[in-house]
A and B are shown apart, each in its own frame.
Chain A
């Protein structure tokens, strides 16, 4: 048995283009001393699933997501849950949504 956290990360509304056009990624977060937070997850995504590292600024700015990306945990805006500080639980579904402005 893997002792890490099993979670799904999802990239939608065009953001999947940064992730090989794959929307849903089932991933296992390795065991760590401190509990996994969303803040840690962002860097893990950058290092492990972001395809083109040159395009990191289309995903992150500083230690958080760039303006225009909404993060949801199990279909709830992360702002309801403490955003970067939220502690990830097993089987969480974490969705990254790029806000659209076209019409």
Chain B
């Protein structure tokens, strides 16, 4: 054998040995994962000594994988508790970036991470809390096409999302993949918690066969939310997830838990344990399709972002730049800010008056408005409505145009496209955005 031949033979042998070595490493890692190290025992001792967890329970946590959809008000607390409890793998799904207005309730995200992808910011913080936990990021908008492949990799699914469309997608995928679903929601000062599709229990669709109409669904951006409320629900989601992983007998079952933060009241509603006739969860998993158009089904989008309406004609609207010109030319106009009083108190244009949209219907309010219009002495003013982003201001124009006593006394009634948000973007960057 010449030298060249010997080299290639040795290389081949080494390659084979390397394959073998890697297999052994993988096996070692797997075996190590199944037992608790000295550090594990120290770190998790306070929960291991509980009869509910024990050594077996802690091992189950270590080998378990949990998927959290939404790294927001609910996903932050639930992932923090699960990572700290030693859950081996945590998957995070989110398509969004960290915003300043998230920070009061989404405690995983630090102020310096505003603008960062939420999954990346979440991973950073969670690994800082517990470097042993494997954090997997899924930087995607969940839909009926990508959900199944993601869900298959996990044992328990946590719905920490913020919209109805995503809740249906999560439910249907859990049913098809046979995964328990720990569902939480929070808004204003109220929270709700349910576990679906667990040991034969009902699914989200059994309870909600028909989607509720979009105008009855509130979101945190418009209704508001107090930070501790999703905090409470997110922590409870972590608790039920731990109970599912360790196979505890008392997982919240066929029940809906309500939390009322204003009255500090919890209420547990017993739900039916009978699956709804013909519901998706009564079908064979192979027969379940999750490719329907969920946004069309719900009549809304798979996010809680603002939706722009176009109710008025182009000539019934002005831009913020038009408004700025009217101001500089000292054109006489009366501006009605139609937002809620609390929003007006937060920030408003100095020359605007506040009449909430719903109050325009009141005769009393309108006669006061007419007084204001008449106070322009011998000039006929224009009437301009404005709101946060330019939807309610259009509704206000429609409402005001119903009353001749108003239309007869002004030159025209228009609204401001994009509202105060746009004013801040284009005219006055010091005007607050919320």
- Which chain A residues have a beta carbon within 8 Å of chain B's beta carbons? 12-14, 23, 58, 66-68, 70, 72, 75-77, 79-80, 95, 97-103
Cβ contacts A to B, 15 pairs, < 8 Å? A13-B190, A23-B260, A23-B263, A67-B211, A72-B269, A72-B270, A100-B191, A100-B192, A101-B163, A102-B218, A102-B219, A102-B225, A102-B304, A103-B72, A103-B162
Residue among B207, B230, B269 making CB contact with A76, cutoff 8 Å? B269
Inter-chain contacts of B219 with A (CB < 8 A): 101-102
The distance from the CB of A84 to the nearest CB of chain B, in whole angstroms, is 15
The distance from the CB of B296 to the nearest CB of chain A, in whole angstroms, is 16
Residue among B185, B207, B272 making CB contact with A103, cutoff 8 Å? B185
Are A75's CB and B270's CB within 8 A?
yes
Q: A12-B260, A67-B208, A101-B162 are in contact. Are A80 and B192 (CB under 8 A)?
A: no
- Which chain B residues have a beta carbon within 8 Å of chain A's beta carbons? 70, 72-75, 160-164, 167, 184-188, 190-192, 207-208, 210-213, 215-220, 223, 225, 230, 256, 258, 260, 263, 267-272, 274, 304
Are B188's CB and A14's CB within 8 A?
yes
Are B70's CB and A103's CB within 8 A?
yes
**Apart from the given pairs A14-B188, A72-B270, 12 other A-B contacts in the complex at a CB distance below 8 Å:** A23-B260, A70-B207, A76-B270, A77-B269, A79-B272, A101-B219, A102-B186, A102-B220, A103-B72, A103-B160, A103-B184, A103-B220
Residue among A70, A80, A100 making CB contact with B190, cutoff 8 Å? A100
Inter-chain contacts of A95 with B (CB < 8 A): 267, 269
Which 3 pairs of residues, A with B, have the shortest CB-CB distance?
A68-B212, A102-B187, A100-B185
Chain B contact residues, majority secondary structure: mixed
Identity of the chain B residue whose Cβ is nearest the Cβ of A61 in the assembled complex: B213
Identity of the chain A residue whose Cβ is nearest the Cβ of B194 in the assembled complex: A99
Q: A14-B218, A70-B269 are in contact. Are A99 and B208 (CB under 8 A)?
A: yes
Alpha-carbon distance between A80 and B202 when the two chains are bound, in angstroms: 13
Q: A99-B208, A100-B186, A102-B185 are in contact. Are A75 and B269 (CB under 8 A)?
A: yes
Residue among A14, A67, A70 making CB contact with B256, cutoff 8 Å? A70
The distance from the CB of B190 to the nearest CB of chain A, in whole angstroms, is 5
The distance from the CB of B131 to the nearest CB of chain A, in whole angstroms, is 27
Alpha-carbon distance between A80 and B273 when the two chains are bound, in angstroms: 9
Identity of the chain A residue whose Cβ is nearest the Cβ of B272 in the assembled complex: A79
Inter-chain contacts of A13 with B (CB < 8 A): 190, 192, 258, 260
Are B73's CB and A103's CB within 8 A?
yes
Alpha-carbon distance between A13 and B186 when the two chains are bound, in angstroms: 9
Inter-chain contacts of A23 with B (CB < 8 A): 260, 263
Identity of the chain B residue whose Cβ is nearest the Cβ of A59 in the assembled complex: B216
Alpha-carbon distance between A77 and B272 when the two chains are bound, in angstroms: 6
Are A97's CB and B269's CB within 8 A?
yes
Inter-chain contacts of B191 with A (CB < 8 A): 100
The distance from the CB of B191 to the nearest CB of chain A, in whole angstroms, is 7
Inter-chain contacts of B218 with A (CB < 8 A): 14, 100, 102
Alpha-carbon distance between A103 and B211 when the two chains are bound, in angstroms: 18
Are A66's CB and B271's CB within 8 A?
no
Alpha-carbon distance between A46 and B268 when the two chains are bound, in angstroms: 26
Alpha-carbon distance between A12 and B212 when the two chains are bound, in angstroms: 17
Alpha-carbon distance between A100 and B232 when the two chains are bound, in angstroms: 15
Alpha-carbon distance between A66 and B74 when the two chains are bound, in angstroms: 27
Are B270's CB and A103's CB within 8 A?
no
